[in-house]
Amino acid sequence: MTKWGMTIDLKRCIGCQSCTMACKTHNGTPAGIFFRRVVEKEFGTYPNVRRTYTPVNCMHCDDAPCVANCPAGVFSKRDDGIVEYDAGKCYGARVCRMVCPYNAVSFIEKIEPYDGEAFIPPEKYWYEKYEAGTAVKCTFCADRLADGLKPACVKTCPTEAMAFGDLEDPESDVSRLIRKRGGQPLHPELGTKPNVYYLS
Amino acid sequence: MTNATEQRVERLPVGAGWIPDSFEAGFLRQRDWRLWEVLSFYFGGLGTGLYVISALLDSRASGDAPRGTIVGMILGFLLVIVAKNGSHLMASTHPAKALRSMSRPGSSWISRGALAIFIFGVFGALDIVVRLGWIPGDGETLGWIFAIIALASAFVVMVYIGFVMAEARTIALWHTPLLPVMYLAFSLVLGSALATGIFNLAGIEYDTALLRIILLVTIPVTVFLMLAHLSFLGFSNQAARLSMQMLTKGEVAASYIGGVLVVGLVVPLILTAAAYGADGAARWVSVISAVLMVVGGYLFYSSLFRAAVFSPVVQPGARSVAVVP
């Protein structure tokens, strides 16, 4: 059985936000909604300053708090490991936003045009699949996976910082990278068993 | 930078590490649950507390005729069914789908709470009907069954929100087993306070001594729980310490320490103790302390929402994402 997972090489990430843009372009998310972000942090004092970039998206946890705590059953875990959502069931409790340790669930308060005045034709097309007042999140581009393609963020990354594949297959790129580089998930101490591993 | 952004940045406490958007590592404040959520939880605590305390007083009253204390049960019931559910619907973005909230009782505390509210709605109403003597014949056995189920479901409604909030693993202010106990304690204090106020204002006879004893026990317990909660925050992670600072010295301090602890609990405790054994003026003292407690209770529910801080997704300054000390 396939179990999809991702690795993110922090040494390769240059913080260009290409993955953020690829995600927005592919998913056509409304203004202010991001399924993926590259979180930045600068620390130290001049001249010893360091800036870190950490791409963050849904970790598709095995023990996903959003799946367990959503009272309406919006989130569910697929056999291939993807945590998918059905926005049609969402009534806006927003408990998913409280319990997700990765700030990976977005809530569409309202759908507005980017220029603040009128929707341009692509926006009208993209936003048809979203409904204001519902929760949304990354699905590892499940529609692309169904077509045999990799997630848009993985495909786009100019430094090939990300790998995507079957965690159950010991010979897949992700399994080999996790073994070789000692990949670790974000906040393993929370016990959510994420399926996105970071290489540092 | 737009004016709106400038204003938002200016309000950020210096050095606290607040972030203006989600693309920078730092502490995030809880912004999703606001007024209507606070009101729904508050009315739930107030209503179930009033129902339980009034039911206790009603059970101790004598005589076959309907007792005045049943007014408290009816009001408590309405607070839960009308005010709490109404606030929940106002908070929902798609209220037509709100019945789905009961669909996951196996894993979701919101679903368990929603089911408890439904059961309370059915059996609470039946309990009141039996107590009013509207069921022909001897309804004593039925009455006991209805009362036990209604009180058990009211108990779940009192505490479930504490369990919902405790599931938020990265909000240290909420992620504690103390929270359900605190909500239970506040619910009983609020119920006792509102019962005292209503019965005194309406001139309804009730067991004054019993209600005063309940208040003299529940208020100190609640104060102790609040202080214990604050103490634990001091020994927890940085997000917890930020929340504690907000509650004790920051923008929520006036509400939490001044409004909840002093005005809402300590002052009513002194007034209740002073009024113990006295009559006459004690009636108005009881009403005043009841008002203070009801207002303080609201501030408790809102303060815990306002001071909630998420731990950073990526630890500020961390060189490796995997290590979170």
Task: Give the domain CATH number at B268.
Answer: 1.20.1630.10
CB contact under 8 A, A101 and B313: yes
Name the A residues in 102-161 with CB < 8 Å from any B CB: 102-103, 107, 132-134
Domain count, chain A: 1
pLDDT tier for residue A104 given thresholds of 50, 70 and 90: very high
Average pLDDT over residues B163-187: 96
Average pLDDT over residues B263-269: 96
Out of A39, A41, A93, the one facing B317 most closely (by C-beta) is A41
Contacts (Cβ under 8 Å, ≥6 apart) of B54:
B69, B70, B71, B72, B73, B75, B76, B191, B195
Asked, for residue B256, whether it belongs to a domain, the answer is yes
Q: What is the mean pLDDT of chain B?
A: 87
Following DSSP, what letter does each residue of B181-196 receive, concatenated?
HHHHHHHHHHHHHHHH
Asked, for residue B248, whether it belongs to a domain, the answer is yes
B103-129 per-position pLDDT tens digit: 999 999 999 999 999 999 999 999 999
Domain CATH number, residue A67: 3.30.70.20
CA distance B117 to B295: 24
Which of the pair, A46 or B80, is modelled with greater confidence? B80
| pLDDT of B168 above 80 | yes
| pLDDT of B325 above 50 | no
Contacts (Cβ under 8 Å, ≥6 apart) of B203:
none
CB contact under 8 A, A97 and B32: yes
CB contact under 8 A, B24 and A41: yes
CA distance A21 to A6: 18
Q: Kindly provide the ipTM of the predicted complex, given to two decimals.
A: 0.92
CA distance B320 to B8: 30
Domain count, chain B: 1
B232-258 per-position pLDDT tens digit: 999 998 899 999 999 999 899 999 999
Burial classification of residue A147, based on how many CB atoms lie within 10 Å of its CB (0-12 exposed, 13-18 middle, 19 or more buried): exposed
Which of the pair, B182 or B205, is modelled with greater confidence? B182
CB contact under 8 A, B95 and A107: no
B183 within 8 A of B161, measured Cβ to Cβ? yes
Average pLDDT over residues A178-186: 95
> Which domain covers residue B290, as residue numbers?
32-310
B201-212 per-position pLDDT tens digit: 998 888 888 998
CB contact under 8 A, B310 and A103: yes
- Cα(first)–Cα(last) distance of chain B, in Å? 35
CA distances from A136 to A84, A90, A158 (A): 9, 10, 26
CA–CA min distance B281, chain A (Å)? 46
Q: What percent of chain A has pLDDT over 70?
A: 100
- What's residue B279's pLDDT? 62
| pLDDT of B20 above 50 | no
CB contact under 8 A, B92 and A54: no
Lowest model confidence (mean pLDDT) among B90-94, B185-189, B210-214:
B210-214
Out of B22, B91, B174, the one facing A103 most closely (by C-beta) is B22
Asked, for residue B94, whether it belongs to a domain, the answer is yes
Asked, for residue B22, whether it belongs to a domain, the answer is no
Which of the pair, B56 or B11, is modelled with greater confidence? B56
Name the A residues in 25-44 with CB < 8 Å from any B CB: 34, 37-41, 43
| pLDDT of B130 above 70 | yes
| pLDDT of A161 above 50 | yes
Report the candidate in B70, B206, B80 with the shortest Cα–Cα distance to residue B143: B70
- What's residue A52's pLDDT? 86
pLDDT tier for residue A78 given thresholds of 50, 70 and 90: very high
Residue the block writes with tokens 């009782």: B105
| pLDDT of B22 above 70 | no
pLDDT tier for residue B68 given thresholds of 50, 70 and 90: confident
Residue of B nearest to A17 (CA): B23
| pLDDT of B176 above 60 | yes
CA distance A156 to B149: 58
Which of helix, strand or coil describes residue A198?
strand
- What's residue B281's pLDDT? 66
